[in-house]
Amino acid sequence: MIFYSWTALSGSSGSSVAMGITDDRGRAMRAGEESLASGRAIVVIIDAVRPAMAPNTLAPCYVPTGVGWVGRCTATGEVSWDRFFAPGDPGDRAGLADPGRIGG
């Protein structure tokens, strides 16, 4: 099962102004677009994540799959989304970016 973790970042300090997690990428994009449209954020990052457990504590957490999207406002006020691929933990071969894993 894949979830989408999103974070909207401000321009002045780069701190997060809004964040969330959902099971629907479109919903994550719409939530991020609201922060961009309001002017509270200058960039939104969405990471595809999977549920996991922390090794030492067995606490539930989310692990990035290596696929994400960066959203920014264009000069015309639209939001442009760019997909990116990032490697996972070097010790976790299954965490490496593999577009075939999304939705699977």
Give residue 60's pLDDT: 95
Residues in the chain with pLDDT < 70? Answer: 88-104
And the tokens for 52? 């996991």
Give residue 11's pLDDT: 77
Predicted confidence (pLDDT) per residue in 65-81, tens digit: 999 999 999 999 999 99
Cut 0.85: pTM above it: no
E-assigned strand segments in the chain = 3-9, 16-22, 43-53, 60-73, 79-85
Give residue 97's pLDDT: 44
